[in-house]
Amino acid sequence: DTEVTQTPKHLVMGMTNKKSLKCEQHMGHRAMYWYKQKAKKPPELMFVYSYEKLSINESVPSRFSPECPNSSLLNLHLHALQPEDSALYLCASSQPSGGDGYNEQFFGPGTRLTVL
């Protein structure tokens, strides 16, 4: 199984809502990532989990809260978002390769988030 799945595919939420994005992989990867991508822009790294521990947090506002319950699952909890947070949210996973960085990342199809 070489697939990263993300749910939901689309999400529309109000600024007072609480929602969660989910990501799952069964490739045995021990690094998982959240990216945010605006239209016609490159993905921007938000969070990295390595061996289920948060290793990188790119100064993301606290209204985004990541969670890694186990090595296969990654969640992104959303609360009190702003309209400018509307974007494609991508999850990825990879296998850390040690001293020379990470191996290739496998991306999910993304969740298209619209904040009203």
Please identify which residue in 20, 50, 71, 72 interacts with other proteins, judged by CB under 8 A. Answer: 50
41 in contact with other proteins (CB under 8 A): yes
Neighbours of 66 (CB within 10 A): 20
Question: And the tokens for 72?
Answer: 């296969």
52 in contact with other proteins (CB under 8 A): no
105 in contact with other proteins (CB under 8 A): yes
* Binding segment toward other proteins, per CB under 8 A, in 19-27, 60-68, 71-79, 85-93: 85-93
Residue with tokens 């496998």: 106
Residues 4-33 that bind other proteins (CB under 8 A): 4, 31, 33
Q: How far is residue 32's CA from residue 41's CA, in Å, rounded to a whole number?
A: 21
Residues 64-83 that bind other proteins (CB under 8 A): none
Q: How far is residue 20's CA from residue 108's CA, in Å, rounded to a whole number?
A: 16
